[in-house]
Amino acid sequence: MNTLTHNRNRAFIPAFLFACTLSPIPSTLTPVFAGSSAGATAMSFLRMDPAAHQTGMGGVGVGLFENLQNMSYNPALLGMLKHNELVFSHANWLVDSRFQDVAFAFATRSKGTFGVRYKTFSYGSIDSYDAAGGKLASFKARDSLISASWGAQLERVHGICAGITIRQATQDLSFVSAGAVMADAGFSMLPFKERLNGAFSFGAAAKNLGQEVKFDRESEYLPSTLDFGFGWTGLLERLSAGVDVHMPKAQGIYYSAGAQYRAADMLDLRAGFETGQEQGSGLRLGAGVNFGAWQLDYAWLPFGLLGDTHHASLLYRFGGPAESAYAAGLKALRKTRYAEAVLYFATALEEDPTMDKAALKLKAAHKLLQEQKELKEAP
């Protein structure tokens, strides 16, 4: 293959990717490769997600909670967060196209969890040619998304959560641009918690709800979808698995399935599958490394002759209602208000049952409170 032909073929793919987001195409995870029914939808990049954790599990995230990046799949799952979280994601897509993503979630004790996200998708440099094959010019195309989400736990016994997302999406090309405001709404619950050494979960979300988008003189629908998800976590939380059912507007139903196994205290192994992908097998593989408050995730997606895509995310957990209650308990301990300290440490454990330091301090505060009572009762 000569250099001119090779360069023009490389230039064709990002141009094709952008054209696909402006035209009627069937799609699943990526607007280029999947589905079987026709339907005119705009901004198909909204279905593409750089989150390495969920991507490595086949794109499962509607009914199975993992971290703040679930808000892209079901905003209700934000209500399950016990800590504040900050995550940066990057994905090398096909040829020169790539994702950049940053998200932050702030968990409160009584008002739910608030999340914000900013995502961009760059198609790289796109060349234009005249009828004779001569290069005319190069231009760049870029999509962006900014969103605000809220999710809260409405009932603790069955883990019932609800959430909503409002987002603004924009597509920019040198000669055309379009923007749209849309919304997501979600619901989740844990109907059978701690049965058979495991917990079952369920979620549902209606996503990308809004008016038609107008490109120049053409109007197209947003890629609205109704999704249902089912999850299971067991083996002392070492194994989790989920299945999602996706029902996009004007297109065929497709499915996602995946699992994660904690092979060691610091290592998670993931695998998943998504149906309907025309290029590649639909397989997804991933792994995660946990070190303290940090988590590094990677996912690999093969697309056959079109190449592979690589996803990486770095997540940091801090603060949250449990940490706030723990800090208040320490303050009460220092001031010898032991009864108050007991209440704060108990609250921290209620918010986060895995907080070992709160359990230790609760035991110590109980002992000090008992000694304090004995001193007061002594003659």
> Which contiguous run of DSSP H or E holds residue 54?
helix 52-55
Pairing, β 225-234 against β 239-248: antiparallel
**In Å, how far are 160, 286, 292, 296, 325 from 353, measured between CA atoms?**
18, 28, 17, 23, 13
Residues 200, 191: contact at Cβ < 8 Å?
yes
**Spatial separation of the C-alpha atoms in residues 339 and 316, rounded to whole Å:** 33
Q: 212-216, 296-300, 332-336: lowest mean pLDDT where? A: 212-216
Q: Is the pTM higher than 0.85?
A: no
> Looking at domain 3-316, which CATH architecture does it have?
Beta Barrel (2.40)
Q: Provide the pLDDT confidence category of residue 300 given band limits of 50, 70 and 90.
A: very high
Q: Residue 32 pLDDT more than 50?
A: no
Give tens-digit pLDDT for 280-292.
Answer: 778 999 999 999 8
Any idea where the domains of the chain sit in the sequence?
A: 3-316, 322-377
pLDDT tens by residue, 248-287: 987 789 999 999 999 988 999 999 999 977 777 789 999 9
pLDDT of 158 = 76
Contact 103, 68 (CB under 8 A): yes
CATH of 322-377 among 3.30.429, 2.60.40, 1.25.40, 1.10.3470: 1.25.40
Mean pLDDT of 96-119: 92
CA-to-CA dists, residue 229 to 19, 160, 207, angstroms: 31, 14, 13
Model confidence at 217: pLDDT above 50:
yes
Residues 203-222, mean pLDDT to the nearest whole number: 84
